[in-house]
Amino acid sequence: MNRLWVRLALMITAVLFLVFFAQFASIMIEDEGRAVVDPDHPTGLPELAGPPREEIARRLLNFVALSVVVGLIGGAIIGRVVSRPIGDLVKAARHIGAGDRSVRAPLRGSREMKELATSFNMMTADLQRAELLRNNLMADVSHELRSPLTALEGNLRAVLDHVYTLDEAEVANLYGQTRHLIRIVNDLRELSLAENHQLRLEKQPTDVNALIAETVQAIEPLATDKGVQLIDRVEALPEVLIDPVRIRQVLFNLLSNSLRHTPAGGSITVSGTVGDKDVCLAVQDTGEGLTAEQQASVFDRFYRGDKSRSRESGGTGLGLAIVKAIVEAHGGHVEAQSEGIGRGSTFSIFLPEG
């Protein structure tokens, strides 16, 4: 800040001195061209005369002194006005570098400086949100991995302590825990790739009707075992440019989620409609339903509406987050609707036709 006002002072001083010197030079030229009659001259002819050298030196010194004084005062004032908002940004940037993401730069100064401070504050807000998401993700991941790892450790310790023998049932239990861990890791990887726009999509014109029928057929045995009826109400849909593998994963996640939260005797209806510019695929169930708060958060990672039983039912809390990420990677969007607890839910995905 000090260097700035010094530079401004020197610039103002130099500019003022040049202006004063130019004015002085013009006056001198005018004075030198002015005729003066000397009565003592033998011929009485006019002589050219100008100000004495002492007067010229005095004027130049006055110009220099005035330029320096005005330059110093003007430089200090302008430097203060200009450097204060910059100093605020520097101070805020240092706080952010030290780990304080809540700091904001005050909006003052010129219009350009206010716009710069606004952009800076928006950047810090994004950093604060990213830091919060990162911390929440680390807490969620550690929480999710701790349970299966603790179970593995306890079972293996019991085997080593000869509490029980490692029979086929115990091996199957340990295998199930490792499968759960692998699924969490794979889901996290896919979710991270999708959210960072690095998920590869191999789009091709796809028969959505056939894709839905294949997915419903794959999950139908699970629904039959649970006593849940699957209903297909998909109208004739046009071919859509999508990645069929990823959209099949989306449909499977939606159907699995609905099946997980629909009791025996309930039903799950798959429907598909054509809009003006997109295709809507919906999975409607007669299950537990969602509150307004749950509808707003159900697509968040590791979100569980019923934390007391979701892990035992096989959920990782990542399925719907992956659905949202994949659909958005296709340029679409997702919606969750419910009339309340106990009245079922409808999960819809909207995919652009082109």
Q: Which domains does the chain have, with CATH numbers?
A: 2-100 (no CATH), 137-195 (1.10.287), 204-352 (3.30.565.10)
**CA 255 to CA 283: how far, in whole Å?**
7
Q: What is the pLDDT of residue 90?
A: 81
Q: What is the pLDDT of residue 194?
A: 75
| Average pLDDT over every residue of 329-354 | 89
Higher pLDDT, 305 or 270: 270
Q: What is the pLDDT of residue 308?
A: 41
Q: What is the pLDDT of residue 277?
A: 84
Q: What is the pLDDT of residue 334?
A: 93
Higher pLDDT, 56 or 331: 331
Q: Is the pLDDT of residue 146 over 50?
A: yes
Share of the chain above pLDDT 90, in %: 14
Q: Binning pLDDT at 50, 70 and 90, where does residue 298 land?
A: confident
Higher pLDDT, 131 or 36: 131
Angle, nearest 10°, between helix axes 53-97 and 111-160? 30
In the chain, the amino acid numbered 83 is: S
Higher pLDDT, 258 or 35: 258
Q: What is the pLDDT of residue 44?
A: 47
| Average pLDDT over every residue of 337-344 | 87
Q: Where are the alpha helices (DSSP H) in the chain?
A: 2-32, 53-97, 111-160, 168-195, 208-226, 244-260, 292-297, 319-329
| Average pLDDT over every residue of 239-244 | 90
174-210 tens-digit pLDDT: 777 787 788 778 877 777 777 777 778 888 999 999 9
User: In the structure encoding, which two tokens stand for residue 244, read together?
Assistant: 């069929």
Contact between residue 254 and residue 247 where contact means Cβ atoms under 8 Å apart:
no
**CA 233 to CA 65: how far, in whole Å?**
91
User: In the structure encoding, which two tokens stand for residue 74, read together?
Assistant: 């003007």
Q: What is the pLDDT of residue 187?
A: 77
Higher pLDDT, 168 or 6: 168
- CA 280 from chain centre, in angstroms, equals 27
Instruction: Give 48's strand partners.
Output: 35
| Average pLDDT over every residue of 301-318 | 56
Question: 308 by DSSP, 3-state: which?
Answer: coil
Of the ranges 7-11, 95-99, 199-203, 311-315, the best mean pLDDT one: 199-203
26-58 tens-digit pLDDT: 655 555 554 444 455 455 444 444 556 666 667
Q: Binning pLDDT at 50, 70 and 90, where does residue 160 land?
A: confident
Q: HSE-up of 256 (CA within 13 Å, CB side)?
A: 19
User: In the structure encoding, which two tokens stand for residue 25, read together?
Assistant: 């030079």
Contact between residue 14 and residue 75 where contact means Cβ atoms under 8 Å apart:
no
